[in-house]
Structure 1
Amino acid sequence: SIGFIYYSYPGASGSLNYDFIEGNLALGYQINDIFSVGFGYNASPDNFGDSGAAHYFSGSLSYAVSTPGVGLILDASVGRQLIEDNAAFGTPDYWDWRIGASLALTPNISISAFYTDTDISTADCGSENCDARGQVSLTASF
């Protein structure tokens, strides 16, 4: 897939240059009935807060547990964020990763749990916002 996102910060002073556009490209491949891989690339020529060009590369692997009647998928991903002007952005270039699982409760309801982290230290982040996190979500499609 190919897409574009415009990030807008209404009410922020224009001199801060918070607003920016980002393009993305995502490719996925189903290897067989249980394994799939994905690759992504996001780019912004003029990223948040005058931090210059930004590039994000990611890869993912999914494993569908092959037990009849169990809709369990295990996921793992890793990404690399590169920023032209790290001082303006507020953090150094970094790695992030995520591991988790999704379980189909019904054909259109699922629950997911993930662990996400980065290699940014609390000191480099300036807060605990870059620390490891757990996430649980309930999704319904109709």
Structure 2
Amino acid sequence: MKYNIRTLLIAVLLVILVFLLVNNNRSQDILLLEEDRIEIEGAEYSISLTKEGYDPSEITILAGDRITFSADPEYYKFHWPASNIHPTHSIYSEFDPRDPIKSVDKWSFIFDDRGAWRFHDHLAPYYTGVIIVK
């Protein structure tokens, strides 16, 4: 009789131990998934100022996405992407590096405001484009 009770107690303790281990691992998995969701950042895109103008000249992105602007150093010494209206850049004033950028350098901007944002190169305002932020 003592042998059966002892065996039963050991079996119950093993079941409880396995249950606790399995549930503990599940809660850690859930926490990792929540952390992964928090760390997700917006997508990244590139717009380049080429001999023919901006490429692409129109792009659709989501709020929180980043666009990195560059210029072809074969054709430009500097570039200056900025929001319209030229020369004040007042429509989306944050979208303006405020100084020329060497063509060997890049400039990035995260678009948080939704809308259709027209832009130009401040140094060559005939090169234009539009960024649609959803």
Q: What TM-score, normalized to structure 2? A: 0.24
Structure showing greater radius of gyration is 2
- Identify, as 1 or 2, the structure richer in helix: 2
- Identify, as 1 or 2, the structure richer in strand: 1
